[in-house]
Structure formats: structure tokens, C-alpha cells
Amino acid sequence: MTALVRRLEQAWFAEAPASRLAILRIVIGVYVLWYLVPRHGLLTELAESDPSLFEPVGVVSWLAHPLDPSLFHLLVIGTFAANLAFLLGWRYRISGPVFALLLLGVLTYRNSWSMIFHSDNVLVLHVLILGFAPAAEAVSIDSRAGDRDRTGWQYGWPIRLMCVVTVATYFLAGVAKVMGPAGWPWAGGGELLKQVAVDGLRKDVLGSAASPLMFALQDYLIVFTALGVGSLVMELGAPFSLIDRRLARVWAVSAFFMHWGIFFIMGITFRYQLSGVMYAPFFPLERVVVWFRSLRSGSRATSLAEFSEAKFR
């Protein structure tokens, strides 16, 4: 029993440097800014859509009618401001939760117009975890000099939670496939080819273009079988990757390439996944910062290899 508790404790409350969590805050904060700001016009236009197309989901499902477009516009501007404060780690005890809740609200509203963009799900969950975690105790306006060297379990568990939430979503996608009408034969590849073809047909009919790779590969069912089996192994096996840190990193890299495969074959852009930012919690990002710092300070002897021996893996 004690061994089990110790193992759980090690898994969930392992110590991590404050800078690792802080860098995740910065990387994800920059990503959201890059993602949202160019979509400002789209969000504004969407809020002015035909009210009959409004199908509220999630935290806005209580809305009987769409919000006044000017109110939604204000919320979007507020989200940008909170995003900046989150990114810089300014008054984080307030700006962290405020940004997390505003992003949840704005993206849920954006997904309430007849279509849910599943690629945004994990992004929102990651920001919710970071927003309520002590992610600005290093590399931030709030932090003091020397804070970046702090370590503790309070910086470790949010990162662990981000990893667990990430693999949980893949597991759910795998369960949906085998529990769906196609069942386990989904792995055979025939269903996947049909899914890819339906997606391509929709693109062609609605003024976009299907991926040429789809037409090139259609006669090779073995490719789709490999992709089907590979997807199911990746999705249903995702929770098992958490048993070992290295295995989890291999899983993260494989999932990243799977999304690039989907992009080339189907032309579907899962931005958070394709950017690689979604898998950042699986890696000790602070080592990159330490490496850059050492380069700046002219310590040529220091290399990434030395940091691989660092205390916190």
C-alpha cells in the first residue's frame, strides 16, 4: 500500500523547476496570441451571423439567444488583454484565472455556431490548468530574481495534469472509433479511406480542394490499414505511455507526426497539434532556456548534452 502511495506520489507530485511551468505558460500564451489575434475579424463576423445558426454548447449552453455582437467584441478584446498579462506573468493570481475563463468563454461561443472545432479542446484545457497553477513564479513580471531556480511539487503536478489530459483526449477518440458503428473493423482501413474521401468530396464541392495524396494512395488499402491500426494503437494506448517518461515522449512525437500525416492526406489543419505546442508539457523546456542563456553568457563549454544530465528530467 505504501509502495503504491509512493508511486502515485512520484507520478503526480514529482518535483519540477518553476521555470518549466513558466515556459509552458509563455509558449502556450504566445500560441494563443498567434492563434486568436489574426482571427479577430472572423470572431467579430461570426458573432453577427444569422441567430438561427446559433447552437450553444458547453459553458454558454444556457444562452437562449446569441450575445449582442458588441458585447462579444468587448469579451474578445478583454481576452487579448488578459492573454498578454498571462504571457508576461503580470498580476498572475488574477490574470491567470481571468484569461483561462475568458478563453473558455470566447472559444466556446466560437464553437456554438453549428460546428465544434475539436482541435481547440486541449488548448482550452491546458490554459485552464495553467491559469489556476503557479505558472508565473519564474520568468515573469511577478517573479523576483532567483525565482527561476525554485523547484517543488507545486510546479510538477500541473505539468503532469496537462500530459494526462492530453492523452485522455486521444483515448476518448480511440474509444469513440471502436464503440462507433464501424467498431473494431475500423482498423481495417476501408472506413478510414471512406472518411478521407468524404472529407475530400466536401472540400471539392465547397470550393476548397481535396489533397492530391488521397487520390494517389486510394489503391493502396494497406496504407490505410497501417494508418487505421496505427491510429488506434496511438489513441487507445495513450494512457499506457504515461507509465514511463521516455515512452510518453515517444508517444508525443508519434502523435505530432500522426497529425502531420492527417494534414498531408486529408488537408485537415489541427493547429495546436501541428504546431507541436500541445506536446510541450512532455518535455523539459527549461533546458533550452538554460542552453540559450549559457550561449549568451559565452560559456561555450556548456552544451545541451550536459543538460541532459540535469537533475530534473
Partner 1 sequence: MVAITLSPIAENWSERPNDGFPLSHYPMFSAKRTDSVRITYLVGADSSSKRYLLSHRYVGPGGLNQVRRQIARIARRGDPESLCRSVAGKIVMRDARSLREVSVVRVVTGSYRLTEYLAGTLAPIAEQEHASCKVERRRP
What helix, strand, coil percent values describe the chain, rounded to 5? Answer: 75, 0, 25
Residue 146 region, left (φ>0) first, then alpha (ψ -120 to 50), else beta? left
Q: Taking CB under 8 A as the criterion, which residues in 48-67 touch partner 1?
A: 49-50, 52-53, 57-58, 61
CB of 9 or CB of 45, closer to partner 1 = 45
165 close to 126: Cβ distance less than 8 angstroms: yes
Query: Which residues share a beta bridge with 17?
Result: 151
Stretch touching partner 1 by CB under 8 A, among 136-144, 147-155, 171-179, 294-302? 171-179
Listed residue (274, 304, 262, 270) closest to 286, CA to CA:
304
Compute the distance between CA of residue 280 and CA of residue 287 in angstroms, rounded to an integer. Answer: 12
CB of 42 or CB of 94, closer to partner 1 = 42
> Other C-beta atoms within 10 Å of 287: how many?
20
User: Smallest gap, in angstroms, from Cβ of residue 305 to partner 1?
Assistant: 35
Confirm or reject binding of residue 165 to partner 1 (CB under 8 A).
yes
User: Smallest gap, in angstroms, from Cβ of residue 129 to partner 1?
Assistant: 7
Among 175, 295, 304, 310, binds partner 1 (CB under 8 A): 175
Among 124, 139, 234, 290, binds partner 1 (CB under 8 A): 124
Helix (H, G, I), strand (E, B) or coil at 298: coil
User: Smallest gap, in angstroms, from Cβ of residue 101 to partner 1?
Assistant: 12
213 close to 265: Cβ distance less than 8 angstroms: yes
Q: Taking CB under 8 A as the criterion, which residues in 194-233 touch partner 1?
A: 194-195, 197-198, 200-208, 215, 218
Q: Which helix (H) or strand (E) holds 152?
A: strand 151-152
Which residues of the chain form contacts with partner 1 (CB under 8 A)?
41-42, 45-46, 49-50, 52-53, 57-58, 61, 104, 107-108, 111-118, 120-122, 124-125, 128-129, 161, 164-165, 168-169, 171-173, 175-177, 179-182, 186, 191-192, 194-195, 197-198, 200-208, 215, 218
